[in-house]
Amino acid sequence: MTKTARAVADELRMLEQQLLDPAMRADAAFLEQILADDFQEIGQSGRRYDKPTAISELAVAPGFDGPRTILDFEAREVQEGLVLAIYTIAETATQRSSLWRKRGGRWQLVFHQATRPSASSR
């Protein structure tokens, strides 16, 4: 991994970690900045969310009690300024993938998916 690729991976891992902090998840101003206007999510329930829905629902219920631990984090450049992040949440074994886009010198989350492990994969 090049020094630049490592720096991007480190930055995106930090942003993902912030998104896993219940206090940050409930912060509408933070979410307004970090989520792209065309943000889409497929939650672990299979439900789809857009930016306004995600912000309003996370303000009411951030989803879990404490921060989560990221394992096996990978960041793969899809094209210049577009990076796919893949990782596992240690506490739940949930698989996560996020698509990040850099615009105006900052990263924004465009797409996120969470997948629960099946009973046979635990």
Evaluated on CA atoms 114, 66, 54, 79, the torsion sign reads: negative
Q: What is the pLDDT of residue 89?
A: 95
Please report where in the chains the tokens 């997948």 appear, as a residue. 115
Q: How far apart are CA 4 and CA 2, in angstroms?
A: 5
Q: What is the pLDDT of residue 66?
A: 74
Q: What is the pLDDT of residue 119?
A: 67
pLDDT along the chain (122 residues), means of 10: 89 96 92 97 93 91 78 96 96 95 96 85 53
Q: What is the pLDDT of residue 121?
A: 55
Instruction: Name the helix (H) or strand (E) containing 28.
Output: helix 28-34
CATH topology of domain 3-115: Nuclear Transport Factor 2; Chain: A, (3.10.450)
Instruction: Name the helix (H) or strand (E) containing 111.
Output: strand 106-115
> Are 18 and 24 spatial neighbours (Cβ–Cβ below 8 Å)?
yes
Q: How far apart are CA 56 and CA 53, in angstroms?
A: 5
Q: Enter the pTM of the model.
A: 0.91
Contacts of 44 (CB under 8 A, 6+ apart): 94, 114, 115, 116
Q: Where are the domains of the chain?
A: 3-115
